[in-house]
């Protein structure tokens, strides 16, 4: 495809010696309205070199740039040079690009030879996979897909919370009140009951906390009874989590959780000691970070047991040595900001420059309409229940709207689950939000079902119009305002995917597919697509095809399916 921004840069480079290619690129703006052009170049920085007022410089450059085949016109608007893309060229390059790239439209090889690790989801075993986990799970999955689409060797890691004092609590609770048969019949709920009961009783009996710490230390020391109980709890938890991952169509390359690094922590502690970074404090060991404006990073408790920080450092070392990552991404809630800053700094102080390649991708908190989620108090909304309810609600709607639809159950699953995922990815990830059933399951407005329905509508038009990808199209038949706006949005899609990767923000793609769907529906409502004139029909069906193709790719990058019929 023609890169029109690069064509703008080439023109400016020929006339401006005082700015580099990258400097010109950084100065180019996208005007707020297409009435002002597709690109605008401010000339303020050229005043010294040209020794003229900015508006005169802009006028001179616009005159020199005139009569370029890639642009309908190039004019000055005060101190700006405004570039209007040749619409026929735009239509031609977009259609040819989508046809040639097909299902890979917007992909690239920029990541070739570079490994990116995306750690996401990472629930605690023996606890419910609740609505609070959906953000890390779907944001992480989208980032994994985006990086992979751009050619990176991408590795999805589910860093399970399968270690720590909580397992001392569970082991102790199980030995006091547990029933294996009852637990295996309903693993997560029964284990949660034990966990909640233990925490409630520990409020009154403080000695229970010591007992939990004892059993975790025994687990770390390889106590046979503790290890077998822990292994059983981990296995039955994973079986439950897998149900949700299958519903979301998510797969991982590794389930190496905290426990995997239990034998890899001594080398971290040894290196910290060797480099004089460890300090003793009341029997515990820490790294002092006061001069960096942070509290100390606790590495080892008084009883010799380890903490999240120790395990995260050990995991980062393992990943660097085994994957030699270009980026090591952690999709974890914003409440963990300090934790990541601390241990990233510890690795940096250890003298490892790859600490800068460890990246925390934070996101906002989820709360219920009547308060925050709390596992300790048993206040959770199961993610599996949310997804099932979304599917059931969607099926009811479909039976009313299209009772003869084939495979209604499968489509309801695609649309219902897609609605939940789409809503999670529609806003910037850093924003907090309140989970609401009504909002989550709404099928009006800028939603997943709206975009999916647009895809299905486009597919229906292609089938009814006997669309043939080999048909030659007269590009000049697609120059109306509504048509060009759709083409522009499809043209922007590859850059949107790049932005989503560079800023680690999937919502850029979510918003773009919504805009493409809105633009197409406006075109659909203003122009009949299947018309008697064969040339017009072919051109409009081709526009329909590039919309369908781009929406499907965009939804796929978000982890959402695109049904052909709804």
Active site residue 127: yes
Catalytic position from the list 7, 87, 130, 538? 130
The alpha helices in 250-326, defined as continuous H runs, are: 265-274, 308-323
* Cβ count within 10 A of residue 129: 23
Please report which helix (H) or strand (E) contains residue 493, including its range. helix 481-502
- Burial group, residue 318, by CB count within 10 angstroms (0-12, 13-18, 19+): middle
For residues 379 and 371, is the Cβ–Cβ distance under 8 A? yes
Closest by Cα among 111, 114, 219 to 164: 219
Token pair belonging to 470: 């080999």
Give the Cα separation of 347 and 356 in Å (integer).
9
Whether 115 and 326 have beta carbons less than 8 Å apart is answered as yes
C-alpha to C-alpha distances, 388 to 249, 254, 368, 422, nearest whole angstrom: 14, 26, 18, 16
Sheet containing 327-331: which strands, arranged edge to edge? 153-157, 115-119, 327-331, 358-361
Strands 433-435 and 366-368: parallel
Alpha helical stretches, state H, 367-480: 383-401, 408-424, 437-440, 448-464
- Is residue 133 annotated as a catalytic residue, yes or no? yes
Which member of 7, 87, 133, 145 is catalytic? 133
Q: Which of 7, 127, 327, 455 is catalytic?
A: 127
Residue 80: which residues within 8 A CB-CB, separation 6 or more? 40, 41, 42, 43, 58
**Do the Cβ atoms of 161 and 124 come closer than 8 Å?**
yes
Sort 39 into a burial class: Cβ within 10 Å, 0-12 / 13-18 / 19+.
buried
Q: Which two tokens stand for residue 506?
A: 């999937």
Length of the chain counted residue by residue: 566
Residue 130 a catalytic site member: yes
- CB atoms < 10 A from the CB of 408, how many? 17
Type and span of the H or E element at 93 = helix 87-101
Q: Show which residues are catalytic.
A: 127, 130, 133
């Amino acid at each position: 495809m023609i890169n029109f921004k690069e064509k703008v840069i080439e023109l400016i480079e020929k006339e401006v010696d005082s700015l580099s290619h990258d400097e010109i690129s950084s100065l180019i703006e996208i005007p707020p309205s297409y009435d002002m052009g597709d690109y605008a170049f401010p000339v303020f920085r050229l005043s010294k070199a040209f020794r003229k007022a900015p508006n005169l410089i802009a006028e001179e450059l616009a005159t020199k740039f005139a009569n370029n085949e890639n642009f309908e016109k190039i004019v000055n608007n005060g101190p700006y040079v405004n570039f209007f893309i040749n619409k026929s060229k735009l239509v031609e390059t977009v259609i040819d690009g989508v046809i040639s790239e097909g299902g890979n439209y917007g992909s690239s090889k920029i990541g070739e030879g570079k490994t990116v690790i995306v750690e996401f989801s990472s629930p605690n075993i023996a606890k419910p996979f609740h609505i609070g986990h959906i953000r890390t799970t779907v944001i992480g999955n989208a980032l994994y897909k985006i990086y992979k689409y751009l050619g990176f060797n991408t590795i999805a890691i589910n860093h399970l919370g399968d270690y720590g004092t909580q397992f001392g609590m569970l082991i102790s609770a199980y030995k006091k009140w547990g029933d294996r048969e009852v637990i295996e019949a309903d693993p997560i709920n029964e284990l949660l009951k034990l966990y909640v009961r233990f925490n409630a009783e520990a409020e009154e009996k403080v000695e229970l906390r010591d007992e939990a710490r004892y059993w975790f230390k025994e687990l770390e020391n390889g106590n046979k009874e503790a290890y077998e109980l822990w292994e059983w709890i981990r296995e039955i938890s994973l079986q439950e989590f897998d149900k949700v991952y299958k519903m979301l169509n998510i797969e991982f390359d590794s389930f190496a959780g905290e426990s995997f690094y239990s034998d890899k922590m001594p080398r971290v502690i040894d290196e910290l000691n060797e480099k004089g970074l460890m300090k003793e404090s009341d029997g515990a060991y820490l790294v002092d970070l006061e001069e960096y404006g942070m509290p100390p990073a606790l590495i080892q408790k008084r009883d010799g047991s380890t903490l999240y920080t120790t395990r995260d450092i050990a995991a980062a070392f393992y990943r660097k040595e085994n994957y030699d990552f270009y980026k090591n991404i952690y999709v974890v809630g914003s409440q963990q900001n300090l934790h990541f800053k601390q241990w990233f700094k510890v690795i940096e102080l250890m003298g490892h420059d790859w600490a800068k390649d460890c990246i925390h991708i934070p996101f906002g908190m989820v709360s219920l309409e009547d308060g925050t989620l709390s596992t300790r108090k048993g206040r959770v909304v199961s993610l599996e229940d949310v997804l099932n309810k979304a599917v059931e609600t969607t099926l009811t709607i479909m039976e009313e709207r299209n009772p003869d639809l084939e495979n209604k159950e499968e489509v309801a699953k695609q649309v219902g689950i897609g609605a939940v995922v789409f809503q999670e990815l529609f806003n910037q990830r850093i924003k907090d939000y309140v989970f609401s059933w009504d909002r989550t399951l709404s099928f009006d407005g800028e939603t997943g079902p709206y975009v999916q329905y647009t895809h299905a509508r486009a597919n229906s038009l292609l089938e009814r119009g006997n669309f043939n990808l080999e048909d030659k199209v007269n590009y000049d038949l697609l120059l109306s305002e509504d048509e060009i706006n759709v083409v522009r949005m499809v043209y922007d899609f590859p850059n949107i995917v790049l932005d989503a990767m560079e800023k680690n923000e999937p919502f850029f793609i979510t918003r773009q597919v919504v805009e493409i769907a809105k633009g197409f529906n406006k075109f659909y409502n203003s122009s009949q697509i299947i018309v008697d004139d064969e040339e017009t029909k072919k051109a409009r069906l081709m526009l329909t095809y590039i919309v369908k193709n781009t929406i499907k790719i965009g939804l796929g990058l978000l982890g959402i399916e695109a049904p052909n019929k709804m």
